[in-house]
Structure 1
Amino acid sequence: MASYTINGLSVTPIHGDFGAENCMPYIYLLSCFENLIPGFQLIRIQDKYAVIIFRGTGLDNERHVAFSAQLGSLEKNPAWGGSERVGTPYLFDVSNIESDGSLVKKDSRRWHHALGNALWHTDSSFNQHRSKYSLLLAHAVPVAGQGNTEFADTRQAWKDYPEAEKEKLRRYVVEHELWHSRKLASPDEYEKLTPEERNVKPPAYHKLVQQGPSGEETLFLAAHAKTLFDIDGNRLVDSQKIIWDLIANCTQSKYTFTAEWKAAGTLMWWDNRQSMHRASPYTENMGPRDVRRSTVIDDGPLAFGISKSYTEKLQVK
């Protein structure tokens, strides 16, 4: 599609109003929010397209974190999550590289954990305080055609959903659990959780139908979605079928595109309130894939999900 320019920001749409590319060096990225107009326009572009891809940014860890922090408070990597190699708790190491520099082995817990990233998901939906943005920066990329990321537009998918079904879906609450997606991706490995895993990430509860940054409705979905409840707290016995039917609908080709990393310095910034994504699964011949993610915590009215009184009602049932 044709490019256009807003206040000096060059934008190339990727898939209609979903996804855009922009070539912008880190010096300009970091200075955007020191100048009201460029910073405001960058947020407007993000709100419109939900996914922005920057090429050749020149960002390092420090600059990556600095730019992300201009967008809001950052989620800290839990101690068990592995931030030793990247050296900061504000970056999640989602690479196939161990702390000693070796590649992740196929029989390791980390390999199996990463299999869940190849399922369609929304980052941190399993946290009660959900995320708003994810910013994933490449430090090293594998050969062409490996390690790509796919994105799905949950806004347009919801807009096209039959009106007769929407009112019912608006009443649903979703239980999200990290270990549910991990068990789906690797059932034998995650048949039993370690005590640390079980305690550190309890389920979270969020409405199925949410609002995007402009107030439009959108689906809040992920492979982490384990159970659906109705407005009275009753568990739906066909939860998984409903959830995966919705995911299948959102991930039709008319709502998705594939983003290629191409080179180190690529930064992909997406809005978890308006999209789902999935990574290419690890392969033994992939080579080093060094990508690091900052996560901006949501500050909107639905950021904390469903109220404590509602979740207590669920636990009683």
Structure 2
Amino acid sequence: MFSSSRQTLKYLHHVSASSTQAKRHLASIAPGILQAKPLSPSFGAEVDGIDWSRPLAPEVVREIVQLQNKWGVLVFRTTGLTDTTHVQYSKNFGALETAHAMNKPRRASLPQLYDAGNLGPDDKIIPQFSRAWWHTKGNGLWHTDSSFHQHRSSYSALRAVELPPVGGQTKYADMRAAYLGLPNDIKERIENLVAEHWIWHSRKLAAPQEFDKPTDGEKATLPPAYHKLVQIAPDGINKTLYIASHARRILGMADSESTSLIKILLDHAQQPQYQVTVKWKNVGDLVQWDNRCTMHRATAFQDQSNRRDMRRTTIHDHGPGAFGVKNLLSADDIDIRAGGKIDISEGATPETQTQEQILAM
């Protein structure tokens, strides 16, 4: 069915652009404390009405969750949060991940904060072409935070501490709308498929010369994870695609067919009609998104002349798909050598940007 990826992709784009399918269901929210200004008709909203100087009341937390289920991406301006209050805020939504510091030593003051900027532990700009610099280039690919963990994440909350004068926006893709835009035969084909997610796959896509062969330590620290391609969105109503640049292979498929299908789905999901772009305006801006129904990617800025300090908390998922499907798989399905059974340096990989685009990020 997927032997001709070019024809299938052309068909997918045609169907997606011209389809008269019903829009995905949007949950209604009773008037409350917060005000949401949509960024698009069904995806992304800028939210006002939170008093950031005090802990959130339970009813405010519930309303944020409702807005998150509806819009997927929420933008809060000039919150005034510090490292400590950022972490405290995020704990309203569940337990937090401890941020890994692989190839990029931690510089934030708390272990729950992932450093998503271009600064090293010495507070200087990370040098171009260093391993840490190449590692960050993976953020320019469409991805879903922590899909490479077996215990995946729900929300990410990214805060601006220092911003470059130009560039550095973040793009988001609505994976609920992307799923809805697929033709029915593709939906049926992928319904019960499982993808293997591996961070070193996305790093190899972004920097094939640097991450052609991950080290034994890298592979052991962050082994692959296994999640269904089609999930029920957090609202419990809509279906959503769960795929991103971390997805290395689809179980039960020949390598060429798996690579073709991953590329088709990624190319489909990153079409402009499924996207919104968030422009970072102020120090203290906070953007929170639901990784279970979105993808995102960083955009370019002058990373050797301008500083960009961004800090992110990541909340563990506590929903029905939180731990994926590894426990349902056989030993033959799982890469027991922590990403070593299949050599990702051989053969084609589903590129989402050219090397020239990645270098410009």
1:118-176 CA distance string (max 9 Å, x none):
000000100011111100000011013x1110000000111121112211111211010
Deviates more, 1:77-86 or 1:126-135: 77-86
Q: SS of 1:6's equivalent?
A: coil
CA distance in 2, matches of 1:307, 1:313: 12
Q: Does 1:151 align with 2:176?
A: no
Identity over aligned pairs, percent: 39
Residue matched to 2:221 = 200
Residue matched to 1:68 = 90
Residue matched to 2:161 = 139
**Cα 1:160–1:65, aligned 2, differ >3 Å: closer, same or farther?**
same
Could you tell me which of 31, 37, 44 is aligned with 1:6? 31
Q: Does 1:290 align with 2:298?
A: no
What is the number of equivalent residue pairs in this alignment?
A: 307
Contact kept in structure 2, 1:77 and 1:83, CA below 8 Å: no
**Cα 1:104–1:81, aligned 2, differ >3 Å: closer, same or farther?**
closer
> 2:324 corresponds to which letter in structure 1?
G
Q: SS of 2:63's equivalent?
A: helix
Matches within 5 A, 1:85-100: 85-100=107-122
Deviates more, 1:70-79 or 1:54-63: 70-79
**Cα 1:188–1:307, aligned 2, differ >3 Å: closer, same or farther?**
closer
TM-score (norm 1): 0.91
Could you tell me which of 127, 133, 137 is aligned with 1:105? 127
Contact kept in structure 1, 2:61 and 2:92, CA below 8 Å: no
> 2:331 corresponds to which letter in structure 1?
E
TM-score (norm 2): 0.80
Residue matched to 1:210 = 231
Structure 1: which 4+ aligned runs deviate by more than 6 Å?
Answer: none
| Offset of residue 41 of structure 1 | 1.4
Unaligned runs of 5+ in 2: 1-28, 336-340, 342-361
Matches within 5 A, 1:34-183: 34=57, 36-78=58-100, 80=102, 82=104, 84-144=106-166, 146-183=167-204
CA distance in 1, matches of 2:253, 2:277: 38
1:101-123 CA distance string (max 9 Å, x none):
11011121111001110000000
Q: CA RMSD in A?
A: 2.0
Contact kept in structure 1, 2:204 and 2:210, CA below 8 Å: yes
> 2:319 corresponds to which letter in structure 1?
G
Q: SS of 1:31's equivalent?
A: coil
Contact kept in structure 1, 2:150 and 2:326, CA below 8 Å: no
Unaligned runs of 5+ in 1: none
Deviates more, 1:45-54 or 1:18-27: 18-27
Residue matched to 2:47 = 22
CA distance in 1, matches of 2:331, 2:61: 41
